[in-house]
Amino acid sequence: QEIDANKAISNIVSTFKLKVESYGGKIVSELNATDAIVEVDEMHFTNVIFNLLDNAVKYRRDDEPLMLKVTTADISGTRLEIRISDNGIGIKRDDLKKIFEKFYRVSTGNRHDVKGFGLGLAYVHKMVHELKGDIRVESELGIGTTFIIILPLT
C-alpha cells in the first residue's frame, strides 16, 4: 500500500491537537518532505506515529507546557525522515538502550502515575524494521526526547 506520509501525519497530528491543548501544550508540524510516498500499511504507520505521540503526552513534564513537534524531510530523494520531538522528562543514557525492548519501562526518575505495558516502543521498533526502515532516539534527561524514523521512499 502506498501512502502519503505527510497527509497521514497531518491527520494524526490534528487528532492529537485537542488532547495536547487540554494540557496547555502545543503540537506543531513542519512537513517539508516534497516526496513523502512510502510503501507501508496505513494502519501500522498510523499506530507507529500514534504510539510516539502518545508517549510524548504521557511522559511530559509537569513544570512546563508540553511542546511537541513533528517534521518530515527527504534525504537525497531516496529516504524519508520523520522526527518527533518533545520537551518532556527525557530518558537516561542507560535506559535509552533498553526502551525498545518488550515490557521495558523506565523505573526511576520517571512518571510512576503513568500506566503502560512497555510494549509501545517494541511494536514501533519491530514495525519500522519490517518496513525496511530504521529508528533512533536522542534524549536528555529533564530536557526532552526526539525519535527519528527513516523510511525508504518508493
Task: Measure the CA angle with vertex 58, ends 95 and 19; round to 5°.
Answer: 155
Among 61, 110, 134, 138, binds ligand ATP (CB under 6 A): 110
**How many whole angstroms separate alpha carbon 138 and alpha carbon 124?**
16
DSSP string across 68-93: EEEEEEEETTTEEEEEEEE-SS---H
Residue number with CB closer to ligand ATP (5 or 48)? 48
127 binds ligand ATP (CB under 6 A): no
CA 36 to each of CA 19, 51, 154: distance values in angstroms, whole numbers, following the listed order? 26, 20, 9
133 binds Mg ion (CB under 5 A): no
What residues numbered 112-131 form the site for Mg ion, per CB under 5 A? 120
> CB of residue 127 vs ligand ATP: minimum separation in angstroms?
12
Order of all β-strands in the sheet with 144-152: 26-31, 67-75, 79-86, 144-152, 134-140
**How many whole angstroms separate alpha carbon 47 and alpha carbon 15?**
13
Stretch that binds ligand ATP, among 19-27, 31-39, 51-59, 64-72 (CB under 6 A): 51-59
**Which three cell numbers, joined as nine digits, stand for 144?**
526532552
Stretch that binds ligand ATP, among 12-20, 68-76, 111-119, 126-134 (CB under 6 A): 111-119
Which x/- pattern, by CB under 5 A, does the window 44-63 give for Mg ion? -----------x--------
88 binds ligand ATP (CB under 6 A): yes
Q: Yes or no: say if 136 and 148 are a contact pair by the CB < 8 Å rule.
A: yes
Give contact residues for Mg ion (rule: CB under 5 A).
Answer: 55, 120
Give contact residues for ligand ATP (rule: CB under 6 A).
Answer: 55-56, 58-59, 86, 88-91, 99, 104-106, 110, 116-122, 145
